[in-house]
């Protein structure tokens, strides 16, 4: 009997959703590379809107941690408030209403907390998770590195924003490609990933 073919992690607009996790005011000066992370997440949001990929936004205890930062560009999205260190309980009804859903693209903070637990909960539901590594961070870069490794060990895909964007577009003949090309003309800002991935890092092998 042939072995089951491993998932290739392909993403398509019609079966994907973008999750934006907890990019709030009180984290602005505490999260490493916060402006860069938000900038990349904003790029993912603009692409999702162009390709009609659904988007969900959460805020962790907004009474204490403040609203979503304006530079994310999330106007028009209704944030869901939560206290759980996972987006899934707050979004369970949304997930249940989308039987065609296969892939979740995940951006936000913190990697070792809400991003990790959201990933595990989504994998437990049988969904593919694509962690947008240049749109996720933590206060501690050790926590960020180990969380990325942990998610990969559990079956999530680690992807860059541009890699996912080009998968979603699929073809330069896509009528939205010219608009999206303008968004990715400049490389995503550096968020310290080279320092995490360089060399023979055993956590990411």
Active site positions, annotated: 22, 82, 114
- State the residue for tokens 């934006």: 20
């Amino acid at each position: 009997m042939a072995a089951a073919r491993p998932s290739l992690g392909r993403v398509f607009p019609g079966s994907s959703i973008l999750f934006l996790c907890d990019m709030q005011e009180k984290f602005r000066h505490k999260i490493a590379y916060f402006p860069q992370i938000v900038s990349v997440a904003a790029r993912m949001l603009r692409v999702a809107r162009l390709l009609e990929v659904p988007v969900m936004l959460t805020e962790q205890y907004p009474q204490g941690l403040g609203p979503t930062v304006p530079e994310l560009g999330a106007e028009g999205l209704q944030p869901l408030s939560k206290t759980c260190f996972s987006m899934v309980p707050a979004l369970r009804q949304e997930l249940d209403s989308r039987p065609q859903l296969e892939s979740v693209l995940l951006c936000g903070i913190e990697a070792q907390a809400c991003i990790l637990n959201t990933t595990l909960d989504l994998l437990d539901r049988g969904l593919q998770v694509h962690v947008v590594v240049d749109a996720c961070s933590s206060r501690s870069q050790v926590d960020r590195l180990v969380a990325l490794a942990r998610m990969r060990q559990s079956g999530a895909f680690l992807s860059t924003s541009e890699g996912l964007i080009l998968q979603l577009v699929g073809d330069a003949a896509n009528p939205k490609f010219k608009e999206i090309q303008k968004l990715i003309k400049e490389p995503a800002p550096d968020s310290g990933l080279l320092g995490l991935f360089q060399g023979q890092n055993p956590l990411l092998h």
